[in-house]
A = this chain, B = another copy of it.
Amino acid sequence: MANYIDLETLKYLLNEVHNLDEVLKQDRFADHDAESLDLFLDSVKEFSDRELFPYFKEMDEKPAYHDEGTVMVHEQVDVMMKKGGEMGLIAGPFDYDDGGMQLPLMIQTASTYIQETANNHLPGYTGLTYGAAELIVHFANKELNEAYVPKMLSGEWGGTMCLTEPQAGSSLSDVVTKATPTDDGYYKITGQKIFISGGDHQYAENIVHLVLARIEGAPAGTKGISLFIVPKNRPTEDGLIFNDVTTVADFQKMGQRGYCTTHLGFGDADDCRGWLVGEPHQGLKYMFLMMNGARIAVGRGAAAISMAAYQASLQYAKERPQGRKLTSSGKKNLDEGQTLIINHPDVRRMLLLQKVIAEGSLSLVLLASKYYDLKYTASDPAEKEKYGLLLELVIPMVKTYPSEKGAEAVSNGLQVLGGYGFCTDFILQQYYRDIRIFPIYEGTTGIQSQDLLGRKLLMENGKALELLTTEVMQTIKEASKFDDLRSYANILGEKLQLAQKVIGFLVGFAKKGDYERFLSDATPFMEFFSNITIGWLWLDMATHAKNALVIGNNAHSQDFYESKIHAMKFYFKYEIPKTTSLAEILTNEEVLTIAGEKEILN
């Protein structure tokens, strides 16, 4: 079997860098210890080897399709849901009371990450079911909980999130799906939803849609949106009855072709019933409380694809002989045999670039999961607030960095294979296609960037930023203890100051009331700020590695630890300097992207 994951690095990040033990000290996780969780992750890897990776290519080649009102998906979807349910891959983080295992999100993230490196199509089905069940558990009444959650956590029923509508796209203010109250405690739902991942398939006895809709007479905009449970088939005393949710189409896509994306119609025959979750008009608030998890999940999926692509191109580079190393004269010595391409500096550069992006992304995703765990389990309110703020601040980066830079990483992986990378006989082209949706999923890069700059940095007078800065300073301090890391620590310190300067410049526009200008370069700002954030995480990774070498920790080999320090240096040579230019761009006074009176864009 091909390598698709560096499990050792995942465990290093979990245990040594992000200190899972600290999370396990919380009462909620009292029954778990690092050792048993390690075995759990091994079993997930084994499951992925057996049930996920072997079907990955096939699911692309035989994509999901719409046939007479049903979406037909690969039969392995059934295995994923049922066996995944059995193994607790859906229920893992839920309370014992709800049928869960009270796993930390860090572990759920690591588990799903492993699955996604093997096959990024299948875990979408279980993942969305998990998310939909989470919404019900948190906000719906007991009756609804009992009716839906157990069947979802067992994988018998699927779940979805229905936000997007054809006329509104990312603009949720413009949602028009209608909910009309009845006297029988339910609402009649009518409307259309598009881009619904996992929205229908032939193996699900039922699919439970969590639908944003507007109760008649509700206020305009996002303040008038409510959340409903709208099952495909409604449970009654006589069993399941079709609930007038029709599958209009399955979008055919460039990638993730085994993960269906449906267009759903609600109430075409005026018989679609929905049950309100929580209070009226609070739907978007509920959805967004769950959105942090969804956005971590997107970043995690992209991080997984870049890891898998890196492993595939690394393996190729270690096996493929081609060309010769340059001699000092610049000529090639033809008497030598061909060298492996991993020995060409340009190939090595492309591999290291992938490595720093893939592992940097994973570190960020695990960090966010840790903040999530500590936010939800901390007993000290100050701690709770601290991790809540840190989580909010990193979320838009977690969604964006692995997606945007992951696409770049995968492209470099494809390039390592030359012409073969472009051919369907090799897997790189599939990763290249699959990962391209991630900068669009769950709020595009543009939207995440506005969230980062326009909301998160200003939140509570910049308190989240202060907290993050303190964390970074701590790493700088730790790294500075080692002679050979000090210069990198110094660079990171300078970049922190540069970030302050850039933020000060941009916030100036907000203070002057010029919000459009303030946010017009939010996307380059995202690139700038996440570059520094990943620089921090790499310095942290290298510092832990250095420490392990110094104290003689033999959890991993010396080469392993040295490779982390080497990769950090690569990041600081080839990636960190980009912030110089980005700062130059962001503090440039010229305004060129705000529409004027006259349209001169042609």
- Name A's B-contacting residues (CB within 8 A): 6, 164, 168-171, 173-174, 194-195, 220-221, 251-255, 261, 314, 320, 322-330, 332, 334, 338, 342-349, 351-352, 355, 407, 411, 414-415, 418-419, 421-425, 429, 432-433, 436-437, 439-440, 444-446, 449-450, 454, 510, 513-516, 518-524, 559-560, 562-563, 566, 569-570, 573-574, 577-582, 584-585, 588, 590, 592-595, 598-602
CB–CB A601/B515 < 8 A: no
Tell me whether A171 and B566 are in contact (CB under 8 A).
Answer: no
Q: Which 9 A-B residue pairings sit nearest by Cβ, starting from the closest?
A: A345-B520, A254-B429, A330-B515, A346-B446, A581-B581, A577-B584, A328-B513, A171-B323, A563-B600
Interface pair B254/A433, CB less than 8 Å apart = yes
Given A330-B510, A444-B415, A585-B573; A352-B580 close (CB under 8 Å): no
* Distance in Å: Cβ of A444 to nearest Cβ of chain B: 6
Given contacts A334-B221, A574-B585, contact A253 B422 (CB under 8 A): yes
**A348 surroundings in chain B (CB, below 8 A):** 593-595, 601
Q: What chain B residues lie within 8 Å of A173 (beta carbons)? A: 323-324, 332, 334
A454 in contact with B407 (CB, 8 Å): no
In-complex Cβ contact of A170 among B171, B351, B418, B559 (8 A): B418
| Identity of the chain B residue whose Cβ is nearest the Cβ of A585 in the assembled complex | B577
In the complex, how many angstroms separate the beta carbon of A314 from the nearest chain B beta carbon?
7
Which residue in chain B gives the minimum CB-CB distance to A562? B600
Q: Is the CB of A592 within 8 A of B563?
A: no
Interchain nearest-CB distance for A205 vs B (Å): 28
Measured between beta carbons, the chain B residues less than 8 angstroms from A520 are 345-346, 349
Please give, as numbers and ranges, the residues of chain B lying within 8 Å of A523 by CB-CB distance: 346, 349
User: Chain B's nearest CB lies how many Å from the CB of A567?
Assistant: 9
Tell me which residues across on chain B come within 8 A of A592, comparing CB atoms. Answer: 352, 566, 569-570, 573
Closest to A331 in B: B515
A423 and B425 alpha carbons, distance in the complex (Å):
23
C-alpha spacing A523/B516, complex, angstroms: 37
Question: Using Cβ atoms and an 8 Å threshold, which residues of chain B touch A6?
Answer: 602
**Residues in B whose Cβ lies below 8 Å from that of A328:** 513-516
Q: Is the CB of B593 within 8 A of A569?
A: no
CB distance from A109 to the nearest CB of B (A): 22
Bound CA span A513–B570, Å: 24
Q: List 26 A-B contacts (CB under 8 A).
A: A164-B419, A169-B320, A169-B418, A173-B332, A173-B334, A254-B433, A261-B423, A330-B518, A330-B519, A345-B595, A346-B593, A349-B593, A352-B601, A407-B411, A411-B436, A414-B436, A418-B440, A419-B437, A422-B436, A429-B436, A524-B574, A559-B600, A559-B602, A566-B592, A577-B582, A577-B585
Distance A578 CA – B583 CA, assembled complex (angstroms): 10
Residue of A423, A582, A593 with most partner-chain B CB within 10 A: A593
A590→B566 contact, CB < 8 A: no
Which residue of chain B lies nearest to A563 when distances are taken between CB atoms in the complex? Answer: B600
A559 shortest CB reach to chain B, Å: 5
Contact partners of A322 in chain B: CB under 8 A: 168-171, 174
* Residues of chain B within 8 A of A314, CB atoms compared: 601-602
State the CA gap A437–B254 with chains docked (Å).
16
A345 touches B516 (CB 8 A): yes
When C-beta atoms are compared, the residue in chain B nearest to A439 turns out to be B415
Residues of chain B within 8 A of A338, CB atoms compared: 171, 174
Q: In the complex, what residue of chain B is closest to A601 when comparing beta carbons?
A: B351
Cα distance, A524 to B521, chains bound together (Å): 25
15 other contacts beyond A171-B323, A195-B419, with CB at 8 A cut-off?
A: A6-B602, A170-B323, A173-B332, A173-B334, A328-B515, A330-B519, A415-B446, A418-B440, A433-B433, A566-B600, A569-B592, A573-B585, A578-B578, A580-B580, A580-B581
Bound together, the chains give a CA A579 to CA B559 distance in angstroms of 35
Docked CA distance A578–B421 (Å)? 28
Indicate if the CB atoms of A515 and B329 lie closer than 8 Å: yes
Quick check: B563 and A602 within 8 Å, CB to CB?
A: yes
Picked from B320, B419, B590, B600, the residue with its CB within 8 Å of the CB of A573 is: B590
Most buried by B among A440, A581, A582: A581
Chain B residues in 8 Å Cβ range of A432: 254, 436
